[in-house]
Structures are given as C-alpha cells and as structure tokens.
Amino acid sequence: MSASVRLEAGDTAPAFTLNDQDDKPVSLADYAGQKVIVYFYPAASTPGCTKEACDFRDNINSLKSAGYQVLGVSKDKTDALRKFQKEQGLNFPLLSDPDLAVHNAYGAYGEKSMYGKTVTGTIRSTFVVDETEAIQLPLYNVKATGHVASLRKKLGLDASTPDA
C-alpha cells in the first residue's frame, strides 16, 4: 500500500508525542515557537541511516545557530535508538514510532522502490516545520548521502562549511 498522505508546504504538521532513546516523551509541541527538522529514516545502525544521522550530527551546531532543532524518527525500539545514539555520538533526540502512527501521519511509510523491487517500508523523508507548526519544506524519498548539504542549501544556509 502506498503512502496515503502527502504533506505539502503550508500544511499543519501532524502533532505527535513519542518516546526518545531514553524513554522520555518528546512532543512536537515541546518545540512550539521554534523551527524543527523532523526526519524519518528506515533503521538505526544501518549504513545509509548512520551516514545520514552523522551528517545531521556534524551540522547540528550550524543548524541550531540558524534556529533549527533536529528530531530523528524511526520504527526502532528505544534500546536500539539508545545504542545507535551512543555508538555514533548523536547529539539530537531519536524518537521511536514502532506502531508507525507518526510515519503514516507524515506519509513517510508505504511503497518504495529498493534495488529495482517495490517494497513497503519507511520512505526516507524530511520535514522542516516552522515556528507556527506549519510544514515549511516537505521532502520525500531523500538520499542519505549529501542530504544535509542539500537541505542546508534549500534553507538558504551556507552548505560549504560543516561544523568542525
């Protein structure tokens, strides 16, 4: 089944509360009045997801200085997220959505093409939510490699200088 929802710029971001890697609840509402990058990835500790997460980690200071918070969402259980965060030194919350309710609300789960086959799973997606909880930038089927540089460019941030 394909993703039934496709969020567009200007849509209200679906509200959510999910447990983070430390089993603490995190809500989108916790970030009211701030800009938030919510990104969905298929699985912790896999090569592409590790590359993408480390890319966000390496750019977190410049994203935060531009006013953006980062939240990673996957269907992984919190213990897998805790291990992933610790192994990779990730410096932003990883949220567990095992029943896929938030994935589905954002249209980040459904049919996708993988190695030439159609499979059902997490669609690697990123959503920039503005201070009013509206979707500023919906990005579906993003590539793990180079995604943060591409995102920075779309947001008008200088993509040439990742944090040291």
Point out the residues that are catalytic.
49
From the centroid of its chain, how far is CA 142? 11
The end-to-end CA distance of the chain, in Å, is 42
Lookup result for tokens 């996957």: 74
Task: Please name every residue paired with 37 in a beta bridge, in sequence order, or none if there are none.
Answer: 70, 128
Query: At a CB cut-off of 8 Å and minimum separation 6, what does 46 contact?
Result: none
- Single out the residue of 63, 147, 47, 131 nearest to residue 139, CA to CA: 147
